[in-house]
Amino acid sequence: MSGARRSRTLSRPFTMRRGGVLPSVTLAYECWGELTPARDNAVLLFTGLSPSAHAASSDADPTPGWWEEMVGPGRALDTARHHVICLNSLGSCFGSTGPASPDATGVGRWGPRFPVLSIEDIAGVAHALLDELGITRVRAVVGSSLGGFSALAYCLRFPEAVEAAVLVSSATRSSPFAIAIRSLQRELIRRDPAFLDGDYAPGAGPLAGMRMARKLGVVSYRSPREWDQRFGRERIAAPEAAGEGGFGPQFAVEAYLQAHADRFVGGFDANCYLQISRAMDLFDAAEHGPDGTLEAAFARLRLRAALVVGVETDLLFPVAQQAELARLLTHPDRRVEFVRLDCLQGHDSFLIESARFTAAIGPFLAGL
């Protein structure tokens, strides 16, 4: 565990949106920057599918975080001005309650018996945590990808509790293409014989399925144009040695996928992955509109400002989805900015092109 990680068990049970109750919810989070005495400078940061709460380094934990270049004094999420709070999402496995946690009896793990997770639950426990920390309103919610879903759900469920939102490479809901990719990933995991219907031993489980799912994920997270420039037709050294009946990796892009998969597998619990993945498919902001429309849902918002950032090469959350977000957020009493970036790295760009995302997000947050 990170030396900077804080942990809090909520004082009340939590009722899940699609049924079921978590008798006990523990949340792992990290904070950077001082909270003002008025408790009015909090910035709540939601993560993508796989990261922990460790968004950035600090004295207590000098290891680089998943958004290291974006969080710190003078950075886009400027900790000289804001009190940044990043949570490990409900349903994940880096200190927050999820399928890998002890179940209601405390004897076994939730495993496949964890209630169906919704994005609104991720937002709901975050709100409960902030309430217990005495923070009733945040200056901004910020999230990329799944984190953007969580941030939007937070604004929809608790409209009075948010002043501004920063939604990066996200959407109002998933496209059928994204659902198809994630459905395939889940099937790869579930059909691995080692999945054992979700009752694998802790640390074991469907490693082969997770590896294949991760490879497919990387295909969807990057962009063909990036790979044209980065790999082209480059071969790996000694492809013959790869064996596998002549079907082992021969191209640099194949070795790249393999390396990504090797790094990921073993670190993320399969049941957690399945739950968060399905929650992304199920999320639909329109459910928050009394008449089931996105327009009615967005009419609930009380945001004073919103920033939407998208990337032209994103396959999974195509830029048309961010354009839709910006259109729906437009309101006479709200400052709305929409930034389209022509980064090459597709959906993952926000993890890589720090300078360009800083230029988009930094001034917006500074102007609040």
Q: Give the interface with a second copy as residue ranges (CB under 8 A).
A: 112, 116, 173, 175-177, 179-181, 183-184, 186-188, 190-191, 193, 197-198, 208, 212, 215-216, 219, 224, 227-228, 230-233, 244-247, 249-254, 257, 274, 278, 281-282, 284, 315, 318
Q: Based on CB atoms, which residue is closest to a second copy, 106 or 245?
A: 245
What length is written for the chain?
368
What 8-state DSSP symbol labels residue 36?
A: P
- Say how far apart CA 90 and CA 143 lie, in whole Å: 15
Q: Based on CB atoms, which residue is closest to a second copy, 227 or 300?
A: 227
Strands 83-87, 26-32: pairing kind: antiparallel
Q: Based on CB atoms, which residue is closest to a second copy, 16 or 140?
A: 16
Catalytic residue among 101, 170, 347, 349: 347
Reported as type and span, the H/E element at residue 286 is: none
Q: Which amino acid is at 143?
A: G
- Are 109 and 99 in contact by the 8 Å Cβ rule? The answer is yes
The single residue listed with the structure tokens 């977000």 is 325
**Least CB distance from residue 285 to a second copy, whole Å?**
11
Sign of CA dihedral 228, 232, 236, 241: positive
Identify whether 54 is a catalytic site residue. no
- Are 26 and 1 in contact by the 8 Å Cβ rule? The answer is no
Q: Based on CB atoms, which residue is closest to a second copy, 133 or 184?
A: 184
- Say how far apart CA 43 and CA 285 lie, in whole Å: 22
**Least CB distance from residue 361 to a second copy, whole Å?**
26
The single residue listed with the structure tokens 């079907």 is 247
Identify whether 7 is a catalytic site residue. no
Three-state DSSP class for residue 292: coil
Identify whether 197 is a catalytic site residue. no
Q: Based on CB atoms, which residue is closest to a second copy, 57 or 258?
A: 258
**Least CB distance from residue 103 to a second copy, whole Å?**
16
189 Cβ contact partners less than 8 Å away, ≥ 6 residues apart: 195, 206, 209, 210, 213, 270, 273, 274
Task: At 211, list the tokens.
Answer: 């590896």
Catalytic residue among 169, 314, 348, 349: 314
Residues classed as catalytic:
145, 314, 347
